Amino acid sequence: MSTRTPPAPAAPTSAPPATSTAASRPKLPRWAPWAVFAAAAVAAFLVGRLTSPNLALLVIYTVVLGTVVLYVVSRVVEGPRKATDRLVTSVVYSAFGIAMVPLLSLVYEVTRRGAERLDGEFLNSSLVGITGEGGGAYHAIMGTLIITALTTLISVPIGLLTAIYLVEYGNGRLKKAITFLVDVMTGIPSIVAGLFAYALFALFLGPGIRLGIAGAVALSVLMIPVVVRSAEEVLKLVPNELREAAYALGVPRWRTIVKVVLPTAVAGLGAGITLAIARVIGETAPLLITVGITNATNLDPFDSRMATLPVYAYYQLTQPGVPPEFAIDRAWTAALILIILVMGLNVVARLISRFFAPKNSR
């Protein structure tokens, strides 16, 4: 049997006890859907060779043709109810296949184009004096790391303490208000967070200000609610029995939280914070308007513009200069590094939650 069928459904024969009414009706064999889609693929291929040999179109033809044929055959043999079931199954499988297309193509495209300039020079040099070939993103990588570190430094204490307040102390109206506003804060558009930080710093330092710390403040507005949410979930999972055990030993409440509750939750907290960092490390819009861009290396977030990786990628792509191809290559490599950072942080989060989880036998 041909297996060219791409997101083709695995035989949906497991739909269980449809037997009560359908028992009298004949059923299609298990291999029927496979056979139908294989045939559809062959047909699509033959037709496609006559018109346009576009792989995407072939796949679409196959799926549509296969779905229709399967529906008709099933309707004739098994009746309308079973046919509808098969139709929906095909649709659901195709929907999932469609959703995988952007993910795979995106990763593939960025890797292919970005790998070109992923070299030592890119990691070790800035853009000072570069007009064409060469150059790198050292300054932007360092800028991203510094600003992200600052953001983490601001957000984690505030977020963690707020979560502790909500879980351990909070009651009544203030708790409700904070919970609600954290939800609201989660929905603040990143560009608005950028405008806020700009407006805040412009008020004190005059208009047109661009500072690394302003970027960190903007990102913190985005990161704090994420930290609060995840920390809150994790702290709620710590069993009350442990708190009571500590109280019964005559441990004051704050020590119980610091020495018992937080260590018990450390895996979840670590994972949550790492994911929150991953969320903000790729943010472009707020940095675009608060930190700006520069070609030279500036490692001082309290002094003028800094370069950051996402903004660097943005400008290299939109204002490449002449000839454009070198800057565009650099933009893709910056995007690749961003993806690597984000995926890396995701993996780290998984590892943290696996290895730091309390070894519990129960």
Partner 1 sequence: MAKRIDVSDLDIYYGNFKAVEGVNLSIEPRSITALIGPSGCGKSTFLRALNRMHEVIPGARVEGKVVIEGQDLYGADVDPVDVRRQIGMVFQRPNPFPTMSIYDNVAAGIRLNNKKMKKADLDDLVERSLRGANLWNEVKDRLDRPGSGLSGGQQQRLCIARAIAVEPDVLLMDEPCSALDPISTLAIEDLMAELKERFTIVIVTHNMQQAARVSEQTGFFNLNGVGQPGRLIEFNPTEKIFSNPEMKATEDYISGRFG
Partner 2 sequence: MTTTSSPTTPAGRPKQRPGDRVFAGSAKGAGILILVILAGVAAFLVTESLPALTAPADEIPGGEGLIAYVAPLIFGTLLAAALAILVATPLGVAIALFITNYAPRRLAQVLGYLVDLLVAIPSIVYGFWGIYWLAPKLVPLFQWLEQHLGFIPLFAGPASATGRTMFTAGLVLAVMILPIVSAISREVFLQVPALHREAALALGATRWEMIRMAVLPYGKSGIIGGAMLGLGRALGETLAIALVLSVSGGITFNLIGTGNPSTIAANIALQFPESTGIDVNTLIASGLALFVITLAVNVLARWVVNRRADFSGAN
Binding residues among 259-278 for partner 2 as defined by CB under 8 A: 275, 278
Give kind and range of the element (H or E) at residue 193.
helix 190-205
Site for partner 2 in 109-168 (CB under 8 A): 109-110, 113, 157-162, 164-166, 168
Site for partner 1 in 234-273 (CB under 8 A): 239, 241-252, 255-256, 259-260, 263-264, 266
Site for partner 2 in 161-180 (CB under 8 A): 161-162, 164-166, 168-170, 174-175, 177-178, 180
Residue 52: what residue type? Answer: S
Site for partner 2 in 12-41 (CB under 8 A): 12, 15-22
Rounded Cα distance between 283 and 194, Å, is 10
CB of 110 within 8 A of CB of 336?
Answer: yes
Smallest CA-to-CA distance from 77 within 141, 26, 129 is with 26
Site for partner 1 in 102-161 (CB under 8 A): none
Q: Which stretch binds partner 2 (CB under 8 A): 58-66, 92-100, 122-130, 351-359?
A: 92-100
CB of 140 within 8 A of CB of 309?
Answer: yes
Identity of the residue, 264 or 290, whose beta carbon is nearer to partner 2 in the bound complex: 290
Q: Which stretch binds partner 2 (CB under 8 A): 31-39, 118-126, 194-202, 264-272?
A: 194-202
Rounded Cα distance between 307 and 310, Å, is 9
Query: Of residues 149, 296, 318, 325, which one binds partner 2 by CB under 8 A?
Result: 318
Angstrom CA distances, 105 to 7, 62, 317, stand at 15, 20, 19
With tokens 């650099």, the residue in question is 330
Residue 87 beta carbon to partner 2: minimum distance, rounded to whole angstroms = 8
- H helix runs in 116-171, sequence order: 120-124, 138-164
Task: Please provide residue 21's backbone torsions phi and psi, each rounded to the nearest 5 degrees.
Answer: -100, -30
Identity of the residue, 20 or 171, whose beta carbon is nearer to partner 1 in the bound complex: 171
Assess 91 for contact with partner 2 (CB under 8 A): yes
Compute, in degrees rounded to 10, the torsion defined by CA atoms 266, 272, 274, 275. 160
Identity of the residue, 264 or 294, whose beta carbon is nearer to partner 1 in the bound complex: 264
Q: Which stretch binds partner 2 (CB under 8 A): 28-36, 64-72, 296-304, 338-346?
A: 338-346
Identity of the residue, 256 or 274, whose beta carbon is nearer to partner 1 in the bound complex: 256
Task: Give the one entry of partner 2, partner 1, none that residue 239 binds, where binding means its C-beta sits below a cut-off of 5 to 8 angstroms depending on kind.
Answer: partner 1
Token pair for residue 216? 């960190």
CB of 78 within 8 A of CB of 26?
Answer: yes
Task: Give the one entry of partner 1, partner 2, none that residue 248 binds, where binding means its C-beta sits below a cut-off of 5 to 8 angstroms depending on kind.
Answer: partner 1
Rounded Cα distance between 330 and 307, Å, is 14
Residues that bind partner 1 (CB under 8 A): 171, 239, 241-252, 255-256, 259-260, 263-264, 266, 358-362
